[in-house]
Amino acid sequence: MITVLLLLHLFVTIALIGTILIQRSEGGGLGIGGSQGMGSFMSGRGTATLLTRSTAVLGTAFMVLSLTLAVMNRGASTGTGHDILAQPPAPS
């Protein structure tokens, strides 16, 4: 199960990087001071392109997969030899 989630996480990460790199740089710091003004900032009124929507979907999937993998792997490294800080130093 974890292997499948890791592979899905890898594909989502690659797709997210590609989607972000394809987008045109608009500048202006999150649209503030652009032609749309503050009325459409962070609201549903602004027109969103396919790339913007896909970036949002891929970003959400990335966060959900990251949190899921973190919760599933919680406590997985409590075996012997994994935690170097829990072992006392060897005498020299």
On whether the CB atoms of residues 35 and 29 are closer than 8 A, the answer is no
Convert the pLDDT of each residue in 37-90 to its tens digit.
Answer: 555 445 444 446 888 899 999 999 999 999 999 998 886 655 555 566 676 777
pLDDT score recorded for residue 18: 94
Query: Long-range contacts made by residues 53-58, C-beta under 8 angstroms, separation at least 24?
Result: 54/19, 55/16, 55/19, 55/20, 55/23, 58/12, 58/15, 58/16, 58/19
What residues does each domain of the chain span?
1-73
- First CA to last CA distance, the chain: 43
Spatial separation of the C-alpha atoms in residues 49 and 40, rounded to whole Å:
15
